[in-house]
Structure 1
Amino acid sequence: MKILVLYSGELGKKVIQNLINPGNFCVSCGELCNHCRQARKSYANLIVGIHEFPQDLPTFIEDPEQYMPQKLPECDLILAIGIHPDLLIALPDVVKKTKAKAVIAPSEDSKKTPAGVLEQLKKELEAIGVEFEGPKPFCALEKTGKPVIDAFVDLGFGKPVLRIEMSPDGKMFIGAGVLRDAPCGSTWFVAKKLGWTDTVEYKETISGAHHSYPCTASMDKDPQLGDTILHKAGYIIREAVEDAMECAKKEKARLSAVCGDEISSSSF
């Protein structure tokens, strides 16, 4: 897969760094860092181009072409992150030039990335046979049967999926592993913060870690969600942890049925 990243703002920077996974990307743990991300593969070789648009563009852009880079590489997937609405509308032309097969344009702020613009872009791209997803927020992205976008999710980016280990009595998290990361990279930080904390306080632990990473989603109420996109992102990671906790409990019950009381001395 060849990925072209067109972005403006902090989220785009985080996504690029998460794809590349350099040693200095996540510094949220400070001196307590145990380099938990080192085992995760870097996908720097998949990125064929990166272009950052300035954040101080005019409110209305009559000629998007003048702001587009002159040379763009051929690619399979375009990640259009936080870019000006008028530049989003111009993406079908970029798709034709780059021969892209898919576009992901996440919405972290409904004022900067209006739903109407995303809907128009979706119609235009799908009309020419190009896959499109506009997840709100980016960490809501799931597999939908679209081959290129699903392949991106299969790399390990999208709606978070974790593996949880709990103490035998279920009162403490021993640790957590990341099976699928939020595109911004926050899932690793949340997983790290869960270790050796009380399970009854999981909501507070998750919320604190998610906010301090920090999440870059908007705090303004989104008319489609009826809530802020930041809160939506928080609910997504909380549900991911809850799903992992439930899986851990089911696995313990399954092993208990097979091994009997011997399993009580093991952790899950």
Structure 2
Amino acid sequence: MRICILYSGEFGRKVIGNLVNLSGFCVSCGDLCDQCRRCRPSAADQIVGIYEITQNLPEFIEEPEEYLPAMIPECDLLIAMDLHPDLLTGLPDIAEKAGISGVIVPVEQHRLGPPGIIEKVRKDLESKGIDCEFPRAFCSLEKCGKPVIDRFVEMGFGKPVLRVQLNERKDHIVAADVITDAPCGSTCFVARKLRGTAVKEYKETVSSAHHAYPCTAGMEIDPQIGDTILHRAGYIIRKSVEDALEDCKK
């Protein structure tokens, strides 16, 4: 699959680092790093274009094409992260010109994903026959029946999925492996911190690791989900760990 990325800011850089599994990308463990990401896959050979869009933009943009690349390589999937909301309206034309089949626009900050603009972009993309998803928290992305987007999830990025092993007494986690990583890479860090944790303390460990990574999702209330996107991301990883623990009991 051929992937093209448009992004502004640190979150996009973090996702790119995770997708290509850059050496030294994750520094959350500092001097205690044990290279736990060595066995993670890299999607570097599937990324055909990366474009950083400046954050130094006017408050209102009437002509998004003035700030977006005039042309991007032909590809299957476009991921657009943390762009100025007015630039999102230019994505359908870009996607159509590049023969794109699917577009993912994760919303990590409510102010960057106003519902009205998101709905307009969705309709414009769908009218051109382009599948799209707008996950509020990139780590909420799941398979949705849209082929190209499902293939991205199958690559191992989206809503976290873990596999854990317990000791014989079933009271400590002795191993935690990542099946599907949050696109920002936080799941690997959480998994690393879970190893050696008492089962009864998993909530505290997950919460601490998720914040320490850190999760950079918005801390303002998002009316679309009735909570902050940061909290939603925290609930998602905690539920993923709970599901993994339940699987151990079967």
Q: Do the two structures share a fold, i.e. TM-score over 0.5?
A: yes
Q: Kindly state the Cα deviation for residue 219 of structure 1 after the two structures are TM-superposed.
A: 0.5
1:106: which partner in 2? 106
Letter in 2 for 1:181: D
Q: Distance in 2 between matches of 1:19 and 1:191?
A: 18
Residue 74 (structure 1) aligned with residue 70 (structure 2): no
Q: Distance in 1 between matches of 2:192 and 2:51?
A: 32
Q: Kindly state the Cα deviation for residue 27 of structure 1 after the two structures are TM-superposed.
A: 1.0
Q: Distance in 2 between matches of 1:212 and 1:45?
A: 30
Per-residue CA deviations over 1:229-252 (Å, capped at 9, x if unaligned) read 0000000000000000000111xx
Q: Distance in 2 between matches of 1:204 and 1:54?
A: 37
Please identify the structure whose Cα radius of gyration is greater.
Answer: 1
Q: Distance in 1 between matches of 2:205 and 2:162?
A: 15
Q: Distance in 2 between matches of 1:183 and 1:195?
A: 21
Per-residue CA deviations over 1:137-175 (Å, capped at 9, x if unaligned) read 000000011000000000000000000111122211112
Greater than 6 Å deviation, 4+ residue runs: none
Q: Kindly state the Cα deviation for residue 65 of structure 1 after the two structures are TM-superposed.
A: 1.1
2:51: which partner in 1? 51
2:8: which partner in 1? 8
| Alpha carbons 2:77, 2:101 under 8 Å: kept | yes
2:20: which partner in 1? 20
Residue 243 (structure 1) aligned with residue 243 (structure 2): yes
Residue 63 (structure 1) aligned with residue 86 (structure 2): no
The TM-score normalised by the length of structure 1 is 0.92
Letter in 2 for 1:225: I
**SS of equivalent to 2:55:** coil
Letter in 2 for 1:136: R
| % same residue | 57
Per-residue CA deviations over 1:80-107 (Å, capped at 9, x if unaligned) read 1010111101111101221111100000
- Which stretch shows the higher mean deviation, 52-61 or 230-239? 52-61
Residue 169 (structure 1) aligned with residue 174 (structure 2): no
User: What are structure 1's unaligned runs of at least 5 residues?
Assistant: 251-268
| Alpha carbons 2:107, 2:135 under 8 Å: kept | yes
Q: How does 1:110-129 map to 2 (within 5 A)?
A: 110-129=110-129
Q: Kindly state the Cα deviation for residue 59 of structure 1 after the two structures are TM-superposed.
A: 0.9
Residue 86 (structure 1) aligned with residue 97 (structure 2): no
1:136: which partner in 2? 136
Letter in 1 for 2:137: P
2:198: which partner in 1? 198
Per-residue CA deviations over 1:19-57 (Å, capped at 9, x if unaligned) read 110121111111111111111121101111011111121
Letter in 1 for 2:184: C
Equivalent residue pairs, number: 250
Q: Distance in 2 between matches of 1:161 and 1:154?
A: 11
**SS of equivalent to 1:217:** coil
Per-residue CA deviations over 1:107-156 (Å, capped at 9, x if unaligned) read 01111121221111111111111000000100000001100000000000
Q: Distance in 2 between matches of 1:35 and 1:241?
A: 22
**SS of equivalent to 1:80:** strand
Q: Distance in 2 between matches of 1:107 and 1:180?
A: 19
Letter in 1 for 2:195: G
The TM-score normalised by the length of structure 2 is 0.98
User: What are structure 2's unaligned runs of at least 5 residues?
Assistant: none
| Alpha carbons 2:6, 2:52 under 8 Å: kept | yes
Letter in 2 for 1:202: Y
